[in-house]
Structure 1
């Protein structure tokens, strides 16, 4: 649960990553129908603390004892040097009592120093993944992803990737509808591509391709249509060969893979937010039948559509709250 969240802070922290955690978990969203969170920033030396921005300090009011009751202990970007001993002890105690731990950017080094990354997949900012792997050889560092969920421990890459990880935690703990409310409040998509299956509510795909953007936006709104390469090429006024080459140049993937990913995302949303039969959902998103949907969905998300629905289906109240 997310009833109690504590953020660890000490001298040398990065203010943006601290702000990410404060925005994600410290803002009162009860007016939006979300539960209240007991939120605090704490550290080994309460008082004004320096940051990576010259002339900017942050005042921390709570000591390390505040971590003792937290359901989620979050670590922003902190110095990569070994943390104070009391920080290590507090993080290990949080792990031992079952609290969840979340790091943003170089906060992963703090978790690593406490032994919390041993035998776990993890990540950090791409500039520091090699150092993380060298410093903590038992950690299974996964570079070039937005975040890694290793169960009790979630680690994220730099800066905005922390928001993705925070939304993932909201999603897992309280459901897609709640995560959607938080994302809209922050004016960010509930999901960005990160190279791994992530159970987060479907987002509108970023159609930033130089010349194919309008076509991709149309595809995202017409997933049940014929979206074969020849048809898409016709709409783009190109030959199929030229279209396929341009598509890969601008999106980094093939038309089939891109369309399939959007269809899986829409299926994910319909499984969460409707009672439609799987066969009907398959038709709605453009798959031939339920068997084809099950094949692609299981391959992308690691679970069957039925199991996904049992885990993440919204209640009637959640559906009403998010329209």
Structure 2
């Protein structure tokens, strides 16, 4: 039987851990036998945490020796600083060296990154921690938009519920779509969700009111439904196009065109969430002009189609 073992850091985030274990535990094969032997190992008693708050005490059922025959090793989230659990790193490396599949859950990606197993590869983690992961490990290509990344023997998931998506994906790889679909049905969750975690990232806040760009940003917001050219924006700001671009890069870290696109997408998201306007009218009101243009930009940036986004968040 395929053995799935979670190696838990001190003060483990309980949602990641229990969610992943539950996905594998509910899998049943055609003869109704379990598809996985699910285990938990650690260095000793610890606390199960709910976003940093102690939920209950936790005693792993297995010692670290149980990693020796694990086919899949799960690394759930701990508490920052995430790499402090140095005792985990060598056991994880040894498991990978003998061919075990290694999968990090949410910010468990930091411990996985510390092992070196993600070097030169694409990875993800909770969108709140993606910038930090990329900063600490520049050799990793961090993608903040996806629900999970499958590099074959090494996988990483985005935050919280994205753990379900990745684990169901692993079940599908192990036993096929039908077995995975049955597990998803038991869990009352889709086998595969549309889009990535980009659709869950909050809209960017407005810059500080003291910003020299604040007046022109407000003007853009008030005129989003119009086709706005750089020259017109620069004229509204009382600057040359070159000076406008320099201010955007210095103060907002992006170009005026990209900020305008993000503002249009924010308007579209707001309208999809809060109104019954048709997709055509949403496209017009947010300045994209046509539903085709809205759909192209929305799918590329948010990771899902406007209609699917509305169905999820309205």
In structure 2, do the counterparts of structure 1 residues 190 and 49 end up closer, same or farther at CA, with 3 Å as the change threshold?
A: same
Instruction: Give the corresponding residue for 1:253.
Output: 295
SS in 2 for 1:98: coil
SS in 2 for 1:253: helix
Q: Which runs of 5+ in 2 are unaligned?
A: 198-271, 306-314
Q: How many residues align?
A: 222
Distance 1:123 1:3 in 2: 25
CA contact 2:9–2:85 (8 Å) conserved in 1? no
CA contact 2:26–2:183 (8 Å) conserved in 1? no
Describe how 1:1-323 pairs up with structure 2 within 5 A: 3-27=2-26, 29=28, 33=32, 35-45=34-44, 47-51=45-49, 52-81=52-81, 82-195=83-196, 210-211=275-276, 242=281, 245=284, 253=295
Distance 2:79 2:24 in 1: 22
Larger displacement relative to structure 2 (73-82 or 121-130):
73-82
Distance 1:55 1:150 in 2: 33
C-alpha displacement of 1:75: 1.1
Q: Could you report, residue by residue, the CA deviation over 1:269-304 in whole angstroms, capped at 9, with x for unpaired residues?
A: xxxxxxxxxxxxxxxxxxxxxxxxxxxxxxxxxxxx
Q: Which runs of 5+ in 1 are unaligned?
A: 197-206, 213-235, 263-323
CA contact 1:83–1:113 (8 Å) conserved in 2? no
SS in 2 for 1:117: coil
SS in 2 for 1:40: strand
Please identify the structure whose Cα radius of gyration is greater. 2
Larger displacement relative to structure 2 (47-56 or 175-184):
47-56
Distance 1:132 1:55 in 2: 26
CA contact 1:147–1:194 (8 Å) conserved in 2? no
In structure 2, do the counterparts of structure 1 residues 61 and 144 end up closer, same or farther at CA, with 3 Å as the change threshold?
A: same
Q: Could you report, residue by residue, the CA deviation over 1:166-190 in whole angstroms, capped at 9, with x for unpaired residues?
A: 1111111211111101111100011
CA contact 1:15–1:53 (8 Å) conserved in 2? no
Distance 2:153 2:27 in 1: 25
Larger displacement relative to structure 2 (75-84 or 113-122):
75-84
In structure 2, do the counterparts of structure 1 residues 175 and 134 end up closer, same or farther at CA, with 3 Å as the change threshold?
A: same
SS in 2 for 1:178: helix
Distance 1:85 1:61 in 2: 21
CA contact 1:25–1:37 (8 Å) conserved in 2? yes
CA contact 1:123–1:147 (8 Å) conserved in 2? yes
C-alpha displacement of 1:11: 1.6
CA contact 1:122–1:142 (8 Å) conserved in 2? yes
CA contact 1:80–1:110 (8 Å) conserved in 2? no
C-alpha displacement of 1:194: 3.3
In structure 2, do the counterparts of structure 1 residues 61 and 250 end up closer, same or farther at CA, with 3 Å as the change threshold?
A: farther
C-alpha displacement of 1:243: 7.3
Q: TM-score, normalised by structure 1?
A: 0.60
In structure 2, do the counterparts of structure 1 residues 241 and 39 end up closer, same or farther at CA, with 3 Å as the change threshold?
A: closer
SS in 2 for 1:54: strand
Q: TM-score, normalised by structure 2?
A: 0.62
